Amino acid sequence: MTGSFKPHNVRTPATIRGAGPERTRAVQIGMDRFYVTPHRSSDPLVSLCPRESHHALHVLRVRRGTQVELIDGVGTVLQAEVIRADRGRVELRVLMRRREPPPPYRLALIFGITKAGAFDSIVQQATELGVTEIRPVFTERSVVRLSGEDAVARRERWRWIAVDALKQSRGTWLPEVGAPEPLTSWLSRASGFELQMYGALRTGAELLPERLARFRQTHAGRPPRSAAIYVGPEGDFTQREQAALEIAGVEPVVLGRHVLRSQTAALCMACILGLEMVCPHANDALTGVDESRSGT
């Protein structure tokens, strides 16, 4: 069903307008959001999973007649009305369906696995920042080691953290959260990136905004359409790992004069890259670069 409607039981939504490469989109922030799997998002009637039903009933306290928004993580957005809300079950009737295009860029964060709480925060905040792939990797200095059922369970936990972050940030496309694997395994198959960089603690490495400006200068003024950013665990990548990264075409960059914690460095790089890919020249003030006015 297509068309528009005005929910009778939610406040008038505020809007957020974001300037992207193709268009400006208004985002409603008044309705509660829930996740449904992609294979159910085409149905006229939808049931929430037990996890989402519990949140709806006991945290947000939805009731019959409440109108909400549903997302499936692959671009489908549904506006729906609750027709049943009892005994741990929430069922909804779809009122309107729309499709949102995928992000016009590919941004992967490859992060050395840290203790559980820190990596949970990385997944949450990277999702909010628009990262499209999150790749947890084991490094020589990784303290946490996961395998078998533990790795499967941790990956499922990270996926739900990404779901919650996507709902909160009003996004529509879930990042792909990879299975934990050794850094060397990922490097052996990483491909398709126009630019790959790792956060380095060395003098002489290029500042990240300067490297992005240089990319634009050699690509007719456009930002990279695909990029991978690598951040090691606490203690950084070892010299052997840095050599392997550079052999694989991953360039060292620095983020300023201060030594950042791994989590801070990852989010700093994700924010700068994400902004660059959506709004070219947004980072020029960080470097004094003004090539947009010099013919590029």
DSSP sequence for the chain: -------SSSPPPPEEEEE-SS-EEEEE-SS-EEE--GGGTTSSEEE--HHHHHIIIIIS---TT-EEEEE-SBSEEEEEEEEEEETTEEEEEEEEEEE-PPPSSEEEEEEE---HHHHHHHHHHHHHTT-SEEEEEE-TT------HHHHHHHHHHHHHHHHHHHHHHT--BPPEEPPPEEHHHHHHH----SEEEEE---TTPEEHHHHHHHHHHTTTTPPPSEEEEEE--TT---HHHHHHHHHTTPEEEE--SSPPPHHHHHHHHHHHHHHHHHSTTTTGGGTT--GGGTT-
Q: Which pLDDT score, from 0 to 100, does residue 284 have?
A: 57
Mapped onto helix, strand or coil, the DSSP state of residue 213 is: helix
DSSP sequence for 57-88: IIIS---TT-EEEEE-SBSEEEEEEEEEEETT
State mean pLDDT over 100-116.
90
Domains of the chain: which residue ranges? 15-99, 106-293
The hierarchical CATH code for the domain 15-99 is 2.40.240.20
pTM (2 d.p.): 0.82
Q: Using CA atoms, how far apart are residues 195 and 252, in angstroms rounded to an integer?
A: 11
Mapped onto helix, strand or coil, the DSSP state of residue 92 is: strand
DSSP state of 55: I
Q: Using CA atoms, how far apart are residues 135 and 127, in angstroms rounded to an integer?
A: 12
Give the model confidence (pLDDT) of 161-212 as tens digits: 999 999 999 999 999 999 999 999 999 999 999 999 999 887 788 999 999 9
Q: Which pLDDT score, from 0 to 100, does residue 281 have?
A: 57
Cα angle: 173, vertex 103, 41; to 5 degrees: 30
Q: Which pLDDT score, from 0 to 100, does residue 265 have?
A: 92
Residue 45 — pLDDT band, cuts 50, 70, 90? very high
Residue 4 — pLDDT band, cuts 50, 70, 90? very low
Give the model confidence (pLDDT) of 129-155 as tens digits: 999 999 999 998 877 676 678 888 889
Q: Which pLDDT score, from 0 to 100, does residue 288 have?
A: 53
Query: Sign of the CA dihedral 162, 167, 168, 169?
Result: positive
Q: Which pLDDT score, from 0 to 100, does residue 119 have?
A: 87
Output the six-digit token pair for 253: 């960059």
b/e sequence 109-132, b meaning 16+ C-beta within 10 Å: bbbbbbeeebbeebbbbbbbbbbb
Residue 282 — pLDDT band, cuts 50, 70, 90? low
Residue 31 — pLDDT band, cuts 50, 70, 90? confident
- Do the first three CATH levels of 15-99 and 106-293 match, i.e. the same topology? no
Residue 12 — pLDDT band, cuts 50, 70, 90? very low
Fold topology of 106-293: Alpha/beta knot (3.40.1280)
Average pLDDT, the chain: 84
> What is the rounded radius of gyration, in angstroms, for the C-alpha atoms of the chain?
21
Residue 10 — pLDDT band, cuts 50, 70, 90? very low
